[in-house]
């Protein structure tokens, strides 16, 4: 179970990640996984995957996954501390940038950063998919469900929350 | 076109709460529809400008957008209200769900449901990566950088900081050569 004295450590981790978080919260899945599971052993892979699923099934920004990681590790103090630490530094930077940066999105260096970081972000998201798959897919039924979700979201215009609901129903039916 | 409306601090809180609580699997599309089309708080051009800046900066894109928009309309209190609105309601919901999971997670039926949900959520993330890679213009630079980042993390298990410090400069310098 969780240990509230860990809230400071999880907040510190989020503080560091906040300023490295190019591509948003989903791109941070591998780094969080590396720290909380491989390095600290705070939870199992299937617990990590369950938290990701709960965050996806809830309304709101993707960053809530990090709230749940903080909650799992250090309870309510961990949830609040990790959310504030994850959003604080980047928001301060956004505040400063919003006030000082030229409003011209076509300036050369903005184009360079955008075009340079885009493929890096894609690599991070693909790695996130890989990390999550390793922690989630343990059976042919899991693999089939995962494949259906990939196909439905690539070829259909279905709201993701319905796919998660479908996953819950399929899990219960298959699981007996 | 109806004229733009300047929201109060309280409206920034409730407005961002409303979009956050009705956005599943990412809040961005519903934010645009609600704030640009329905409430007329900003026009399309400003939305695109804030979004592109928000994506350039580290951190959650939608939070960055809320900070900058709130600040432009109502200064620091506006920025805080917008972010608080975006996070408070969803935080309550997600923690309630997680608490329920903790209490009832030992029941076999809940375990099966959660593992099914996890498989579907995993598929959504994989699809997101595939879609981004597919839609992005493919040239030697973008393919090489994406593969390099993926291999460093998924294959070599590098920490993110090391990836950013080594692959980051390559990505930026290569892009700078192209974007003359």
> Helices in B42-156 by DSSP H: which ranges?
44-56, 61-104, 108-135, 140-150
Together in a domain, A18 and A70: yes
Together in a domain, A143 and A118: no
Helix/strand/coil for B60: coil
Classify residue B136 as exposed, middle or buried by CB count within 10 Å of its CB (0-12, 13-18, 19+): middle
Residue A176: predicted pLDDT: 57
Residue B17: predicted pLDDT: 96
Residue B23: predicted pLDDT: 86
- Tell me the C-alpha distance between A4 and B69, whole Å: 35
Contacts with B77 from chain A: Cβ below 8 Å: none
Together in a domain, A147 and A172: yes
- Tell me the C-alpha distance between B78 and B71, whole Å: 5
Which of A52, A110, A174 lies at the smallest CB-CB distance from B56?
A: A110
Residue A1: predicted pLDDT: 59
Average pLDDT over all residues of chain B: 92
Residue B66: predicted pLDDT: 96
Residue A132 lies in a domain: no
- Tell me the C-alpha distance between B152 and A124, whole Å: 10
Residue B1: predicted pLDDT: 62
Residue A16 lies in a domain: yes
Residue A156: predicted pLDDT: 82
- DSSP-derived secondary structure for A113-133: HHHHHHHHHHHHHHHHHHHHH
- Residue B24's beta-bridge partner residues? A59
Q: For residue A115, give its domain range.
A: 4-126
Together in a domain, A11 and A95: yes
B76/A5: higher pLDDT:
B76
- Does A81 lie at the interface with B, CB-CB under 8 angstroms? no
Together in a domain, A37 and A99: yes
- Tell me the C-alpha distance between A58 and B78, whole Å: 25
Cα nearest neighbour of B159 on chain A:
A31
CB–CB of B120 and A145 under 8 A?
yes
- Tell me the C-alpha distance between B98 and B93, whole Å: 9
- Does A102 lie at the interface with B, CB-CB under 8 angstroms? no
Residue A144 lies in a domain: yes
Q: Count Cβ neighbours within 10 Å for each residue of B169-180 and write b for 16 or more, e otherwise.
A: ebbbebbbeeee
- Tell me the C-alpha distance between B90 and A86, whole Å: 15
Res B169 pLDDT > 80: yes
ipTM associated with this complex? 0.90
Residue B90: predicted pLDDT: 95
Hey, where are the domains in chain B?
A: 1-104
As given in the structure block, the two tokens for residue B156 are 């070599």
Together in a domain, A119 and A85: yes
As given in the structure block, the two tokens for residue A154 are 């690539």
Together in a domain, A108 and A25: yes
Q: Which helix (H) or strand (E) holds A19?
A: helix A7-20
Q: How many domains does chain A have?
A: 2
Together in a domain, A83 and A146: no
* Mean pLDDT, rounded, for B11-16: 96
CB–CB of B160 and A17 under 8 A?
yes
Res B8 pLDDT > 60: yes
Q: Are A167 and B119 in contact (CB under 8 A)?
A: yes
- Tell me the C-alpha distance between A126 and B149, whole Å: 9
Together in a domain, A11 and A65: yes
- Tell me the C-alpha distance between A13 and A74, whole Å: 13
User: What is the model's pTM?
Assistant: 0.91
Together in a domain, A151 and A121: no
- Does A55 lie at the interface with B, CB-CB under 8 angstroms? yes
Predicted confidence band at B178 (pLDDT cuts at 50, 70, 90)?
A: confident
**B residues 28-47 closer than 8 Å to A (CB):** none
- Tell me the C-alpha distance between B140 and A158, whole Å: 33
- Which residue positions in chain A have pLDDT lower than 50? none
Give A5 to chain B, closest Cα distance, Å. Answer: 19
As given in the structure block, the two tokens for residue B54 are 């928000």
Q: Are A11 and A82 in contact (CB under 8 A)?
A: yes
Contacts with A171 from chain B: Cβ below 8 Å: 112-117, 119
């Amino acid at each position: 179970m969780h240990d509230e004295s860990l809230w400071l450590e999880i907040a510190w981790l989020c503080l560091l990640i906040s300023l490295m978080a190019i591509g948003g919260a989903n791109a941070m899945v591998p780094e969080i996984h590396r720290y909380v599971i491989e390095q600290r052993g705070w939870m199992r892979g299937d617990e990590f995957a369950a938290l990701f699923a709960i965050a996806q099934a809830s309304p709101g920004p993707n960053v809530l996954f990090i709230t749940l990681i903080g909650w799992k590790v250090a309870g309510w103090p961990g949830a609040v501390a990790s959310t504030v630490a994850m959003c604080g530094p980047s928001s301060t930077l956004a505040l400063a940038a919003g006030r000082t940066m030229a409003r011209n999105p076509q300036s050369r260096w903005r184009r360079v950063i955008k075009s340079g970081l885009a493929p890096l972000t894609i690599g991070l998201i693909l790695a996130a998919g890989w990390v999550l798959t390793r922690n989630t897919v343990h059976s042919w039924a899991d693999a089939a469900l995962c494949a259906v979700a990939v196909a439905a979201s690539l070829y259909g215009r279905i709201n993701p929350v319905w796919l998660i609901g479908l996953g819950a129903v399929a899990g219960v039916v298959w699981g007996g | 076109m109806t004229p733009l409306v300047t929201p109060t601090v309280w409206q920034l809180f409730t407005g961002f709460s409303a979009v956050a609580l009705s956005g599943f699997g990412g809040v961005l599309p519903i934010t645009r529809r609600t704030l640009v089309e329905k409430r007329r708080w900003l026009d399309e051009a400003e939305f695109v400008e804030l979004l592109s800046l928000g994506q350039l900066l580290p951190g959650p894109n939608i939070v960055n957008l809320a900070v900058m928009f709130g600040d432009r309309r109502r200064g620091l209190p506006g920025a805080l209200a917008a972010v608080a609105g975006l996070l408070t309601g969803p935080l309550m919901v997600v923690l309630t769900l997680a608490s329920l999971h903790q209490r009832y997670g030992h029941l076999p039926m809940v375990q099966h449901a959660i593992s099914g949900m996890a498989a579907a959520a995993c598929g959504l993330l994989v699809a997101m990566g595939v879609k981004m890679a597919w839609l992005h213009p493919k040239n030697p630079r973008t393919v090489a950088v994406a593969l390099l980042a993926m291999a460093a993390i998924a294959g070599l298990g590098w920490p993110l900081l090391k990836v950013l410090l080594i692959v980051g400069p390559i990505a930026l310098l290569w892009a700078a050569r192209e974007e003359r």
